Structure 1
């Protein structure tokens, strides 16, 4: 990850569900996390966002 996370991005990652890694937040923040490779959008409805392994590492760092 080349850039530091913004405060909003850190809050969304920190608030992810502990077991599933499901994310809740604004569309802009979630889309940016996807572009950074820290989250992905599930292909089936309701198309929730989840942490990737890199996102899990960012949460524990």
Structure 2
């Protein structure tokens, strides 16, 4: 299981589809203000697949 940050509200997911055979790596940066610091946490590949429906651009939503 991927680590979950303390104080996280809700669920989150990240889906990345490589477009070439070159390996793809993902990470996130966690920061803290007390004490000041940060760390970079790698994200594991769960080999999951997600079906995403086709979409089209509709800029009229910006006028509402």
Structure of higher RCO (CA pairs closer than 8 Å, 6+ residues apart)? 1
**What TM-score range do you get, normalising by the shorter chain?**
under 0.3
More strand by share: 2
More helix by share: 1
The normalised TM-score by structure 1 is 0.22
The normalised TM-score by structure 2 is 0.22
Larger Rg: 2
